[in-house]
Amino acid sequence: MKLATFTHDGSTRIGLVDTEADGIVDLSSAAPDLPREMVAFLTAGAGALARAHAALGDARRIPLGEVRLEAPIARPPKFLAVGLNYADHVAESGVPTPAHPTIFNKQSTCVTGPTDPIHLPLASHVLDYEGELGFVIGKRCRHVARDDAADVIAGYLVVNDVTVRDWQLRTPTWTMGKSFDTHGPIGPWIVTPDELHDPHQLRLRTWVNGELRQESTPSS
């Protein structure tokens, strides 16, 4: 399934995207017993996912052209990322491969929708982009073994890790340079694992003004 948060007729709720029909099923109408906010919906677990899937059927599709797609999760409880997480990026950067992952935080207030504008801050002109594969943890968990990691993933989405490079390099945590307002576009929807054969082989591409700037896979 493709889970989205959208605004239509002045109301924001969640729905299921039907790409073949170029439309979205409004779960507040098709399954009114389900939560209308994404975090609450994912927290409700497998039963809520099954109920949503069952509601697809012949439910009315609102044309995607008539809705505004929002960030699937407006304020993620955590927004964590890994620096130099692709071998291609390490080679491009010309730095040694880290012995341990570089984990940094993007403040949840930077999150914005998939087509919303990105602001160039007055404090810097060194604004950069980086297309990433994001994944949403859908279960409360701790001490998850590597072999069990996929079991807690609710789905995958596109992330633009927008960065103010000079501000990033001023602090060892990187947080400030990664967290300016609007510098965390995510979406356009969450794709559940059942729709992906192998997320490590997804093709990630980033275009800037129609020019292809990045192309790789998570396994690169």
- Domain borders along the chain are 2-69, 80-216
The pTM of this model reads 0.93
pLDDT at 89 over 70: no
Q: Average model confidence (pLDDT) for the chain? A: 93
Range 199-210 average pLDDT: 93
pLDDT, position 92: 72
pLDDT, position 93: 72
Q: Are 161 and 185 in contact (CB under 8 A)?
A: no
pLDDT tier at 165, thresholds 50, 70, 90: very high
Range 189-195 average pLDDT: 96
pLDDT tier at 219, thresholds 50, 70, 90: confident
Four-point Cα dihedral 195, 201, 202, 203, nearest 10: -150
Q: For 63-85, how does the pLDDT look when each residue is reduced to its tens digit (9 = 90+)?
A: 999 999 999 999 999 999 998 77
Single out the residue of 156, 137, 132 nearest to residue 2, CA to CA: 156
Of 3.90.850.10, 3.40.50.300, 3.40.190.10, 3.30.230.10, which CATH number belongs to 80-216? Answer: 3.90.850.10
Range 147-159 average pLDDT: 96
pLDDT, position 31: 95
pLDDT at 59 over 90: yes
How far apart, in whole angstroms, are the C-alpha atoms of residue 31 and residue 49? 11
- Considering only 20-24, 91-95, 158-162, 178-182, which range has the smallest mean pLDDT? 91-95
Range 147-172 average pLDDT: 95
pLDDT, position 91: 72
Classify the C-alpha dihedral 150-155-158-162 as positive or negative.
Answer: negative
What does DSSP assign to residue 97?
P
The residue ranking higher by pLDDT, 94 or 19, is 19
Q: For 120-132, how does the pLDDT look when each residue is reduced to its tens digit (9 = 90+)?
A: 999 999 999 999 9
Range 104-117 average pLDDT: 97
How far apart, in whole angstroms, are the C-alpha atoms of residue 149 and residue 14? 26
Q: Which residues pair with 152 in a beta bridge?
A: none
What residues contact 76, with CB distance under 8 A and at least 6 apart? 108, 111, 136
pLDDT tier at 197, thresholds 50, 70, 90: confident
How far apart, in whole angstroms, are the C-alpha atoms of residue 53 and residue 55? 5
